[in-house]
Amino acid sequence: MSKNTKNTNSLKYNYHDSNADFANFLNDRSVEIIFKLYEVFYPDKPKLILRIREIWNIQKFLKYPNLEERNLKKSSFRKHSLIGRIDRIQFDTKRKSERKNVFLYWNLDSIGSFRIHCKSIEELYFPKSKPWSLILTFELLRITAKFRFSKIFLDLF
């Protein structure tokens, strides 16, 4: 079910009128955002995870959508409820994205536009016909466990 867009200049899915429901920060510079894709384009009512890895302009990313203010926990593993309608997510047309140097243009109806500069992106698609909630739960648990294990391992040394 995974569609990988790490090194291309086009996204696989249309994010227009989708809702960003949840952001899961994997570490200090990587985030996963869970979307409900718009039913007109995707009648099977899928969920999608957009992984944005190694955000170079992380401070700008956190300040623009006010994610810092929504931080409920002080830990490095943070969860945020975004609840925002997406107007558009696309590759920046003014700056060419290359391998390990990706520029995304992001437009939220409630906030406005901003650009994300990151190392890579990945889109994971979960159709409603599949038990997406179970798959999604296991995927998030796997990532959480991997992150926490690496953090514990690093703390030992």
- Note the pLDDT tens digit of each residue in 49-68: 899 999 999 888 777 666 65
pTM of the model: 0.68
CA gap 41, 111 in Å, rounded: 23
CA gap 90, 133 in Å, rounded: 26
pLDDT at 16: 87
Task: Over range 88-101, report the average pLDDT.
Answer: 82
Q: Mean pLDDT across the chain, nearest whole number?
A: 72
- Which residue from 91, 16, 78 is spatially nearest to 48, judged by alpha carbons? 16
CA gap 143, 52 in Å, rounded: 14
Instruction: Tell me which long-range contacts 141-148 makes (C-beta under 8 A, separation of at least 24).
Output: 143/24, 143/26, 143/32, 144/77, 147/26, 147/27, 147/77, 148/77
Q: What is the CA radius of gyration of the chain?
A: 15
Phi first, then psi: give them for residue 131, nearest 5 degrees. Answer: -75, 70
- Note the pLDDT tens digit of each residue in 111-156: 778 889 999 999 988 877 655 555 556 666 666 555 554 444 444 4
